[in-house]
Chain A
Amino acid sequence: MTTGEIGSDLEIATLTSLTLPYQLQLTLGKFKPVIGKINILHPHAFSFVDFPKLTANYFDSEGMALEGASLSWLVPNPYDFYQELTIEAGRVGAEPNASLVRGENSQLSYVGHLKNFFDVSQNSTLEFGITGLNGPNHFGYSTTMGGLDLTYKWKPVQYNVLQSFTWQNELLLSSMRISGAAVAKTHGAYSLAEYQFAQRWFVGGRYDYSQYPDDANRRDIAETALLRFQPTEFQIVALEFQHTERNYDRSTNQVILRFIFGIGTHAAHQY
């Protein structure tokens, strides 16, 4: 529920190298770590109005930020496909999330991600990623997570701006030590599909299943439908309906209408 108060925070601030040798790239500052596909996105860059339940339940409504260093390496391989290994270390931002906190001792949070990107055909690509994560949690112990992501994109050359299709999936497994003897083992996942049927029109659907990192007995299941209209590059109008079932609270139906508008030159987002 909104409060009407206006707060502000520094979402990201990074310094990125451009010319390191051996196909390395170093980023310093506050950034969104590479945890699957969703966490690196800004909210306006995501097709749906809200992030998946997995992101909201395990991190924050808009994911998680890290203050530290990120080193990525384009792995040379003989099979001629895009492979990128990213290693990140730092402390969680000022806003603690459900899985990780800044910590009171010298323990840092670590994220590793391996991205594999293939050209299936002239019109389609397949991406497969593996994520590992470890860091201090708010119980004073550690949380360890592992994740998989799989994305298929189809964008026919002859209908470049008129048709496209995306199928994206993520799975996150969590092991959170909550006391000396108890470990909460939970998981969450989502699967979304989006189809562009005209130059400015998109439809999509998403299925969410997510537990909570410290409680395997609570879970959310959500089904979401989306209609999106993009009049220009600088405007998006999205209408979303979401039905959420909770085994610890009432189920909800929600309709959200979102207007996004932008001015100026905005840096490109990752493909």
Chain B
Amino acid sequence: MNLFKTASFLIVAFWLSYTNVAAQEKDSSAVADSLLLLQLQRSMQPATPAVQAPATPAPAPRSTLSTNPAISAIGDFRTSYTNVGPRKVDIYFNQLELQVSSVVAPYEGLISCSHSART
């Protein structure tokens, strides 16, 4: 009798474990199938960008009118030799040019000043 109970228990346990494993195997294949199906659906869809790219903006101008004046200084330094005159060799700072330029008002005018100093 005990032997019969033990054998019945083992059979039931085996059946339960088998059905459980089978169920697990069925679930894993279903997941795999779902993934494959999703991949197939995606591959069959027309290629569309994930994010719509914004329209190409117009090229920005290289420079814009500005009321902030552009200021520059340019120096001109020289040394010279000549075969005539008492000072054959000379060395001097010839010129310094300062320039300021700016828009006076948009669409109205541009002012440019240049000032030089010489020796």
Binding site for B on A (CB under 8 A): 1-19, 42-44, 49, 250, 252-267
Report the separation of the CA atoms of residues A256 and B115 in the bound assembly, to the nearest whole angstrom: 24
Q: Are B85 and A49 in contact (CB under 8 A)?
A: no
Q: What 6 A-B pairs have minimum CB-CB distances, sorted nearest first? A: A264-B72, A265-B70, A266-B72, A262-B74, A8-B117, A2-B92
Report the bound CA distance from A6 to B118 in whole Å.
6
Task: Please tell me if B45 contacts chain A, counting CB pairs below 8 Å.
Answer: no
The answer to whether B80 touches A257 (Cβ under 8 A) is: yes
Chosen A-B contacts, 29 in total, with CB atoms closer than 8 Å, are A3-B119, A6-B119, A7-B119, A8-B115, A9-B116, A10-B114, A12-B114, A18-B107, A19-B108, A42-B114, A43-B76, A44-B76, A44-B97, A49-B78, A254-B81, A254-B82, A254-B83, A257-B79, A258-B76, A258-B77, A260-B75, A261-B77, A262-B72, A262-B75, A265-B70, A265-B72, A266-B74, A267-B70, A267-B72
Question: Do B112 and A12 touch across chains, with their CB atoms under 8 A apart?
Answer: yes
Q: Which residue of B lies closest to A254 (CB)?
A: B82
- Main DSSP-derived SS at the B contact region: strand
Asked if residues A7 and B71 are in contact (CB atoms below 8 Å), the reply is: no
Give Cα A257–Cα B94 distance, bound, in whole angstroms: 12
Question: What would 10 more interface pairs be, CB under 8 Å, given A8-B116, A19-B108, A258-B76?
Answer: A1-B87, A8-B117, A9-B116, A11-B114, A15-B104, A19-B107, A44-B76, A44-B95, A253-B82, A267-B101
Q: Is the CB of A253 within 8 A of B110?
A: no
Q: Is the CB of B116 within 8 A of A264?
A: no
- A contact residues around B74 at 8 Å (CB): 44, 260-262, 266
- Checking A9, A16, A254, A266 against B99 with a beta-carbon cut-off of 8 angstroms, the contacting residue is A266
Q: How far is the CA of A265 from the CA of B90 in the complex (A)?
A: 31
Q: State whether A11 touches B110 (Cβ < 8 A).
A: no
Bound state CA distance, A43 and B95, in angstroms?
Answer: 9
Enumerate B8-60 residues with CB–CB distance to A below 8 Å.
none
Q: How far, in angstroms, from A6 to B96 measured CA to CA in the complex?
A: 10
Are B119 and A2 in touch, CB under 8 angstroms?
yes
Q: Which residues from chain B contact A266 at a C-beta distance below 8 Å?
A: 70, 72, 74, 99
Pick the contact of B109: A12, A18, A253 (CB < 8 A). Answer: A18
The minimal Cβ–Cβ distance linking A27 to chain B, given in whole angstroms, is 9
Answer whether residue B111 sits at the interface, using C-beta atoms and an 8 A cutoff.
yes
Whether B111 lies near A7 (C-beta < 8 A) is no
Tell me the bound Cα distance from A16 to B104 in angstroms: 9
What CA separation (Å) do A6 and B92 show in the bound complex? 11
The closest CB in chain A to the CB of B84 belongs to A252
CB atoms of A16 and B112 under 8 A apart: yes
- For the complex, what is the distance from the CA of A260 to the CA of B95, rounded to whole Å? 10
Contacts of A15 in B (CB 8 A): 104, 109-111
Bound-state CA distance A13–B97 (Å) is: 13
Q: What residues of A have a CB within 8 angstroms of the CB of B73 in the complex?
A: 262-264
Residues of A within 8 A of B119 (CB): 2-7
In this assembly, does B113 line the interface, its C-beta being within 8 Å of a C-beta of chain A?
yes
